[in-house]
Structure 1
């Protein structure tokens, strides 16, 4: 076992747009002596859990990334590199041996050991945990502690994305303290978790925000800012106003409508690049009318994706003809697909084949009042109604309720999306396979399941894309979801704030430790 992994290129085709905007100092008073950074999570006002095994919402991970570490992480070029691991050695038959960095301290001062890592992974895999991230470790047979700083993760044969799923990203595999969790209990731990990250949670105000305090014994050195205030601002536009008014120092997102204007503001840096997201209409295949493939195909041809990109995200993105985003270049198919273009006559002809009459279709399309998500639903509903004569309505709720209804199957249709990282299985496996944890629509095709399983086991990067391309093509022919667009990602910062490196999976708190005011 001498073939140790220190770096691994995992993402092909990421071609980030240049950072835009002015880099001159803001005309506002400089805060060079400030020990507090105010970093707002915008577009969301809900955080349910900071327990990595339970987390499922984007704003939850925005915080988790600064509070925890994974065995692995992404560097600025999206290579997978060791984080808590010091060395990584492949094992014959599948899996890896990890040697941990010595002297890593949890927030409570205790030292990280291999037992904490084993406890973390065993808990994610345990059925009683009901972790939404359990699928990422589905092929792990066992986690074995060799000594206090060495462990082995054994898999059931080759498992190509394992290292990806062990990164400090949207994985749920961030390492938790066994002793702290057992002492505190799950509920208390989910609110005041004990991790190894550069910051620890010291206050959580539900629906309002959190306070993070620097971890002075962080293994990579104490961060610059002593305190991070993380307000939750439901409307992205309100975040812009707060930034321009000097009330906050940065945002997690930006309203697409304002990007072109903000790029001309000398007081603000606009970070902008194509994202690894996918935005679609989720339709419940277990309920009328979407149990009929002709309805799904007709709906897909009844609206203009190009118009959506302009009206919903103001040109800050591209149309989608599948589930996989263009930034996953090796896996993305550029060939035009049937049913993915606006064609009113074809849509009407397809609808005529359905067992439902368009005027009989009276359903609500779920959305929430968080900026462009509401416009997303409104444009879809208006165009489909106009083209087909259906009676769709927009059903506005809050983001938490929308998620709960999708997850429980209590919906007919809703605007939805997903932001993975760099592995196609996070899209095909999570959303399109029968047991995928984000397969809320109830889609099931044994051929798709088999192709996804082959993709998981194929370790040759030149061969893996073929399995996922075939699986996606089948699912799109059957309209498992109705793809719409992929949007750019944005962050807004004070012009004198330095050290934030934007990554295409929309990172946030993982950068706090390296940030400073110039």
Structure 2
């Protein structure tokens, strides 16, 4: 099995530094106090602006969730890269014998940003809001109408049937808890509500420019956050984000550009953090419309894409070419060479002649024209240009459409106004069921518009199967079906690469590639 390693390259020279351990959720954070005036603002250079303040928005971009994850919290935390589920807002949980009821107990002393204590009723209300949002899959198989509070800190989630991924779903970054009273007083207007439980509260948002957060004085972990102010500064030009860190304009840079990695690693004043994610970037199609509703057209495009060549040209050594439908570091991925269901990838090996044959067979011997939505990221735009040239060789004339994150998400997820596009697929909550549901009819992540009752039944069966061997078999069948029908074409596995100044200590990455800033402090 390819072993995914957490790679942290650092050269940290700290003289006369008081070293303080940065512990888990119940320990005090270090404060870096050396007797001088403590630095109280963490400045982070980010690639894109936050799209909205709605923490339960299932269409949130990764850039947006990186910010929201510090303001709102989940009941359960999934650690990375270990993939373990640990207490966060909930101190414990327990299933009944037939896994149809899940009893959860909140930790003591959790306060919401509006000054109200977080209660069991708040949690049930939060889950019911999720059920009514665009993020409904998080509450799959929960019978929330019959779920109930036992006391102020204890509540029971009733399941309509046993559902193995429920714990994973409760760790999902948009499955957050908040104050019912605050929500009702704010009329559900997230833009003007601050009702979460996280270590930071909302500060100022200068749209297109910056977002600031302020430490929450009543956070339930004493000493956290150690850094009282955070400013996210939007710097869309890749190289300029690292320059900000190098010159002292920022303390941290999210999404370090591949071309800057060598310089950053050679800089003794900078730490570079690298970690493979559970995300594949993929190319897919609008299956609602012709010609992409024809599997032969989709397969033709797949044959025309040189996956390895594109990675070498576009990625500057970041990540790796896709090794399967899903990365091998996801349990039950058939990209894992040790899996009994392993499938070599790419399934559609680069072959322009085969691509032309399939197009002709589908009735497009001279090709056609289409729009390719690549979003705002420079790397996806580079892939777009590479693939546009490749598709031109089989007669497909491609118009590149590059939009900002929010507008692109609206076009893809809401309006379905696209032909082909690039996006990401992941088992964000650590369970393959989350990735499977990209292919479930009416799921919010089903951007491509795939619908097959047989697939829906397979996904449900895998999610409810308690026998791990049988569940692995069903998960393999799901992945194979997606590959056979060429619903998506995975192109590369993503890698988190951030950098920060060497005086910043305690850095931890969290689920959904959202760094946990509450652990950070300045030495």
CA gap of 1:349–1:441, structure 2 versus 1, over 3 A, is same
| Post-superposition offset of 1:450 | 1.4
Contact 2:331 2:432 in 1 (8 A): no
Q: Larger deviation: 245-254 or 259-268?
A: 259-268
Q: Which residue of 1 aligns with 2:120?
A: 114
Instruction: Return the TM-score normalized by structure 1.
Output: 0.90
Unaligned runs of 5+ in 2: 16-33, 336-341
Secondary structure class of the residue paired with 1:330: coil
1:170-205 C-alpha deviation (Å, 9 max, x unpaired): 3x2110111111111222x34542111111112222
Q: CA deviation at 1:378?
A: 0.6
My pick for the range that moved more, 431-440 or 111-120, is 431-440
User: Which runs of 5 or more residues in structure 1 are unaligned?
Assistant: 1-11
Q: Deviations over 1:54-103 (max 9, x none)?
A: 66221221122111221111235331011111221112332310111122
SS of residue paired to 1:422: coil
Contact 2:324 2:344 in 1 (8 A): no
Structure 1 window deviating more from structure 2 (495-504 vs 198-207): it is 495-504
1:117–1:329 Cα change, 3 Å: closer
For residues 32 and 451 of structure 1, do their structure 2 counterparts lie closer, same or farther at Cα, with a shift above 3 Å needed? Answer: farther
Q: Structure 2 matches for 1:443-454, cutoff 5 A?
A: 443-454=450-461
Tell me if the contact between 2:114 and 2:194 (Cα under 8 Å) persists in the aligned partners.
no
* Structure 1 counterpart of 2:13: 24
Matched, 1:181 2:183: yes
Map Cα deviations across residues 461-485 of structure 1 (whole Å, 9 max, x no partner): 4442221221111111111112211
State whether structure 2 residue 271 is matched by structure 1 residue 269. Answer: yes
Distance 2:430 2:365 in 1: 41
**Change over 3 Å in CA distance of 1:81–1:381 after alignment to 2:** same
The structural deviation recorded for 1:372 is: 1.1
2:388 aligned to which of 345, 370, 381 = 381
Residue 199 (structure 1) aligns with: 200
Residues 55-454 of structure 1: pairs in structure 2 closer than 5 A: 56-75=60-79, 77-93=82-98, 94-126=100-132, 131-142=133-144, 143-167=147-171, 169-170=172-173, 172-187=174-189, 189-222=190-223, 223-320=225-322, 322-333=324-335, 334-336=342-344, 339-359=347-367, 361-386=368-393, 388-407=394-413, 408-419=415-426, 420-429=428-437, 431-454=438-461
The 2-side partners of 1:414 and 1:347 are apart by 19
Q: Judge conservation of contact 2:43–2:250 (CA < 8 Å) in 1.
A: yes
CA displacement at 1:15 relative to structure 2 = 3.2
Cα distance in 2 between the residues matched to 1:178 and 1:505: 26
Give SS of 1:363's match. Answer: strand
Q: Is the 8 A contact 1:277 1:417 kept in 2?
A: yes
Tell me how far 1:46 sits from its aligned partner. Answer: 3.9
CA contact (8 A) 1:298 1:347 kept: yes
Asked if 2 retains the 8 angstrom alpha-carbon contact of 1:293 and 1:479, the reply is yes
Q: How far is 1:155 from its partner?
A: 0.7
Once residues 432 and 517 of structure 2 are traced to their aligned partners in structure 1, the CA distance between those partners, rounded to angstroms, is 28
Corresponding residue SS for 2:299: helix
